[in-house]
Structure 1
Amino acid sequence: MLPPIDTNVLKNNPRFEKLYTTITTSILNSDGSTKIDPSAKQRDAVRQELKAYRLKAARVHLLRTAISTAGQVTAPSQPTKQEDQEQQQQQLKQPKQYQHRRSKSRPQPQASQAQTQIQQAPETPALPPDLVELLFLIPAFLNNASTIPPSSVSLLLTSPPFTSLPALFPDLVALVSARLTAQAKTLARVLSPSTNASYIHRVIPSLPSIATTLISDLEAEKTALSRARLTATASLTRHLAQHTEASTLLIRALEAKHDLVATSTELRAAEAYQDAQSWAIATEALLWETRHLAYPPEARAALVHYRQHLKDAGRRLEDATRVREAELADYGVDVPRRDSLAGGRPRRRATVDENKERTMREMARVWREMETRLQEIQGDLNRLR
């Protein structure tokens, strides 16, 4: 089936509408196949041949099904008088309330209905035993004929009940015909439910045309459904566009109503922001002016010279420290010193004599003790004076 196109699209595009009409009417069929094809005749012949094979296979299947189910049709069993009496006694034994409810909720006993059905149903005569055996054996024989050896096939065909098949053939054909007619009537009831049951056999010849009509109607309904879906989609699109336009107009109306307050608030915020920026700039300018007044050019020049003097003094101090450390190293004393520029860990000399350092430290300790004793003696002398 060709995909349907929205009518609005065709109306808005006249050239495309013309092209679509040409394609759907002159070039392509309804199923999407091309009409301009040189090999269409060959395909039609193949299609007709396949149709003939399908019909043949359908006939064979129907005949096999009818033969296999022909022996299953039996007359409905009639209820006996004893069963009717037992059913009436069971109903009498039940309580009256239950019988009253049952009479309201359920229909009357089905004995009368069964009797009417039995009166309407034709009585089927009993089948001969050979015919019953044929009805049971023929379907199995047809289904397994390709797998049975030829000797077995010939043995079966020359053995009863197959030997009585020519004599029972008219009865077999009548049963198969009755079964096919019953199946056709069932199908006719489905396809034509409004027809009276007594005239349902008249609908059987028109079953192919009814099926063809139903198939074509189904395809037409599918196409109409697709077009209806496209129409619904287009309508929904227009509805959404109108809804969007209405929402836009509502937003504009709200903006027009509340725009004055929002604009005034925005202007006040912008004014406050500008005031804050102006105060920040004024504060920075005042800071630079204060710095200029507190530190005139002469003071700034003096501070620069003083910083240079401090740097020179630091370098001289470092040089003097190195000289004193070298002198102490000559006496065997290792003074840990730090890298003044890097601020690292204390470093010790690796070439210092530990014995000499120990001796010098001992001499320094003795010297301090002697100075301490001299000070004590000097104090005692001063007290005695």
Structure 2
Amino acid sequence: MLPPVESSVLVTNPKFEVLYRDLCANKLDKNGTSKLDVKSQKERDAPRLELYRMCLEDAKREVIRASLRDAAYRDDALPDDLRELVALAAAILGGEVSNEDRELVNAELESFNTRTTAIGTAISKRWNEDASTLRQLLGIEAHRAATSIPQTIQNLKMSTSKSQLQLDHSRLALAGNIDHFHALHRQILESSIRILEQTIHGSVARSAKAKTEYLATVAEGMEKKVGLQHAQLIQQFYTPDVQAALRNQADSMRKESAVLKMKVRDAEGKLKEYQAAKGMQGMAKQYAEITRASKTVKEEIARL
């Protein structure tokens, strides 16, 4: 099978395209072999069929030899003398006995033909067990004959070959489309990069940035305007006359506070004098005077 060729190459080389199409359609089979006429195909198939026949005969001989060996060494149903005879026959079929030794054992093999029934029964039993195992592996119903196994195996081989051929075609088709996939991937990357650039540095991003800066400027102007209005309000209500009046009131309150503190100290001094001079006499009168003095001081403090 010829490898796939890009469509761009075929378009730019029309003569090569004609040659390529002719080779794929008329000169080569799907498996890559050359197409031949009927006579040439028969001549080519003859050695292949002969080789297949010889391989089949060899396989049959190998199956019989393996069955005889199994019957001789693994089957307890045969008597010992018969097992030795079967082992000798298996060795001869396997080429393990030389021509000189074969002349010596020919006499022993003469009894092999007379006891084929017992040997055939043992081998048939072994083959039936193998056939049952093959049916289980191949998923064949137990009631079907063992002769259906070769056809089932052949069908599986054909199905496997067909699947392999389809897989090869799919791989070739995929290989032919790789360049197209790469081109699409490159276009996707370019489009993604372009969109990303427009998002970060494009007109939309610039517009959003300008709008943000404008709003920040407006907010700063509003802040300064509010500060100015606050200063104007302070100037309107906190005039120099008001400030002077507040200072005078504060001075007056400080003076009155000093006078009241002096009165409190005088009252406390008088109380001590009364306590020292009269003792407990006139305590009620003194208490009343002190109470009145304290009340007067509290009223003056409250008035301030």
Q: TM tier, shorter chain?
A: 0.5 to 0.7
Deviation at 1:44, TM superposition (A): 2.1
Q: For residues 201 and 41 of structure 1, what CA distance do their matches in structure 2 show?
A: 32
- Contact 1:70-1:176 within 8 A present in 2 as well: yes
Question: Partner residue of 2:69?
Answer: 68
> 2:63 matched to 1:142?
no
User: 3-state DSSP class of the match of 2:30?
Assistant: coil
Deviation at 1:198, TM superposition (A): 4.1
The match for 2:167 among 222, 246, 250 is: 222
User: 3-state DSSP class of the match of 1:164?
Assistant: coil
> 2:28 matched to 1:28?
yes
Question: Partner residue of 1:158?
Answer: 107
- Contact 2:3-2:172 within 8 A present in 1 as well: yes
Deviation at 1:27, TM superposition (A): 1.0
Q: For residues 134 and 11 of structure 2, what CA distance do their matches in structure 1 show?
A: 48
Question: Partner residue of 2:190?
Answer: 245
- Contact 1:28-1:34 within 8 A present in 2 as well: yes
Q: Which has the higher contact order (CA 8 A, sep 6+)?
A: 1
User: 3-state DSSP class of the match of 1:196?
Assistant: coil
Which structure 1 segments of 5+ residues have no match? Answer: 76-125, 261-385
CA 1:70–1:34 in structure 2 vs 1: closer, same or farther (change >3 Å)?
Answer: same
Residue type matched to 1:237 in 2?
H
Question: Partner residue of 2:79?
Answer: 128
CA 1:148–1:13 in structure 2 vs 1: closer, same or farther (change >3 Å)?
Answer: same
CA 1:219–1:164 in structure 2 vs 1: closer, same or farther (change >3 Å)?
Answer: same
Q: How does 1:279-294 map to 2 (within 5 A)?
A: none
CA offsets 1:25-81 (integer angstroms, 9 cap, x no match):
321112211114785443222222212211122222222122222346658xxxxxx
Which structure 2 segments of 5+ residues have no match? Answer: 207-304
Residue type matched to 2:88 in 1?
L
Number of equivalenced pairs = 202
User: 3-state DSSP class of the match of 1:158?
Assistant: helix
> 2:172 matched to 1:196?
no
- Contact 1:188-1:207 within 8 A present in 2 as well: no
Residue type matched to 2:27 in 1?
I
Q: How does 1:231-380 map to 2 (within 5 A)?
A: 233=178, 236-250=181-195, 252-253=197-198, 254-256=200-202
Deviation at 1:158, TM superposition (A): 1.3
- Contact 1:66-1:176 within 8 A present in 2 as well: yes
Deviation at 1:179, TM superposition (A): 2.8
CA offsets 1:149-205 (integer angstroms, 9 cap, x no match):
42x21111213xx342011122223333333343333333323x2x33344646325
Q: For residues 156 and 199 of structure 1, what CA distance do their matches in structure 2 show?
A: 41
What fraction of aligned residue pairs are identical, expressed as a percent?
Answer: 23
